[in-house]
Amino acid sequence: MASESSDKKDIWSADAYRTTVAPFVAALTSKVVGWLDPQPQDEILDVGCGEGVLTARLAPHVTRIVGVDGSPNMIESFNKTFPDIDARVVDCRYLDKDASLCQASFSKVFSNAALHWILRDEATRANAIKGCYDALKPGGLFVSESGGLGNVAEVHAAIIGSLVHRGIPVDVARNASPWWFPSLEAMKALVEGQGFRWIKGEIELRQTVLTDHQGGGIEGWVRLFGADFLALLPSDDEREAAVKEVVEILEGVGRRQHDGAFTVNYIRLRFVAQKD
């Protein structure tokens, strides 16, 4: 799910995300939704809601849900598909900029597959978490699942390798990463640093079979999610060659033996924290 600021190119295509490249993101959520445990009286802020598939699934079970996301493309799609749900373009690093969100009015803050984008920049990390804290009523819960340490490491490394192969210095390639994949301990320290009480957390390896749609698969994944990396290259031809090289490298490590499906090692970091 998307997260970030309006000062960058909006790389998100809601259509590619939902139907072609990553339909599994909204589908593989039973554990985190179980931890969220939506109740009829709940008022939920969904941080990094993307195109709203999961938000809309929660909406009938709660009193109120508000979705926020940094991508205008995602929110435009959200508003078209689910016009009755409040969804807004908000840079989630600065929830405090929308004063109506940070008035301790929500019983739960929820985030799925978004914090690794939102918390990417160290300078704004604490502020993003503080915004979630300020949004909650006393006793309110912050429930999240995102990428943990080592998430999609094989794809991450292959992308950096193909950039270095094309003359990009390794530190520049590394710094272009749009993600922060922390250890459980680092996430706990960050969340506790903004006043939350840590209730529980876990790391899970979830080998995820990619789609085999035209435009999806590992190629579509690298094009959509690796867009910030690929932007370092000077031409479409170079970008195309880099994508093909990443796919070639991953062919050797990502194919399941029994059915040939392409698998990526997603590592999920989930937690529940509480505002006292």
- Based on its alpha-carbon atoms, the radius of gyration of the chain, rounded to whole angstroms, reads 18
Q: Which is nearer to ligand BEZ, 51 or 134 (CB)?
A: 51
Element (H, E) at 232: none
Q: Which is nearer to ligand BEZ, 101 or 267 (CB)?
A: 267
Residue 197, both tokens: 């009480």
C-alpha distances in angstroms, 201 versus 39, 134, 183?
21, 21, 11
Q: How far is the CB of 151 from ligand BEZ (least distance, A)?
A: 5
CA 168 to mean position of chain CA atoms:
26
d(CA 10, CA 227): 10
* Burial class of residue 9, CB neighbours in 10 A (0-12, 13-18, 19+): exposed
Report the relative pairing of strands 263-275 and 196-209 from DSSP bridges: antiparallel
Contact call for residue 14 and ligand BEZ (CB under 6 A) = no
Q: Of 116, 120, 223, 239, which one interacts with ligand BEZ (CB under 6 A)?
A: 116
Q: Which is nearer to ligand BEZ, 111 or 124 (CB)?
A: 111
- Nearest 5°: phi and psi at 254? -105, -5
Asked if 53 and 112 count as a contact pair (C-beta separation under 8 A), the reply is no
With contacts defined by CB under 6 A, name the span among 50-58, 144-152, 184-192, 230-238 that binds ligand BEZ. Answer: 144-152
Reported in sequence order, the residue ranges of 70-190 that DSSP labels E, i.e. its strands, are 86-89, 106-112, 136-147
Contact call for residue 24 and ligand BEZ (CB under 6 A) = no
Q: Which is nearer to ligand BEZ, 48 or 140 (CB)?
A: 48
Q: Which is nearer to ligand BEZ, 140 or 226 (CB)?
A: 226
What character string, x for contact with ligand BEZ (CB under 6 A) and - otherwise, covers 201-240?
A: ------------------------x---------------
Q: Which is nearer to ligand BEZ, 3 or 79 (CB)?
A: 3
C-alpha distances in angstroms, 67 versus 1, 85, 188, 268?
12, 8, 24, 22
Kindly report the number of other CB atoms within 10 A of residue 88's CB atom.
15
d(CA 188, CA 186): 5
Contact call for residue 160 and ligand BEZ (CB under 6 A) = no
Q: Which is nearer to ligand BEZ, 63 or 183 (CB)?
A: 183
Q: Which is nearer to ligand BEZ, 107 or 144 (CB)?
A: 144
Q: How far is the CB of 24 from ligand BEZ (least distance, A)?
A: 9
- Nearest 5°: phi and psi at 86? -75, 110
What character string, x for contact with ligand BEZ (CB under 6 A) and - otherwise, covers 177-206?
A: --x---------------------------
Contact call for residue 20 and ligand BEZ (CB under 6 A) = no
Query: By three-state DSSP, how is residue 159 classified?
Result: helix
What character string, x for contact with ligand BEZ (CB under 6 A) and - otherwise, covers 55-94?
A: ----------------------------------------
Question: How many amino acids of this chain bind ligand BEZ (CB under 6 A)?
Answer: 8
Residues that bind ligand BEZ (CB under 6 A): 113, 116, 147, 151-152, 179, 225, 266
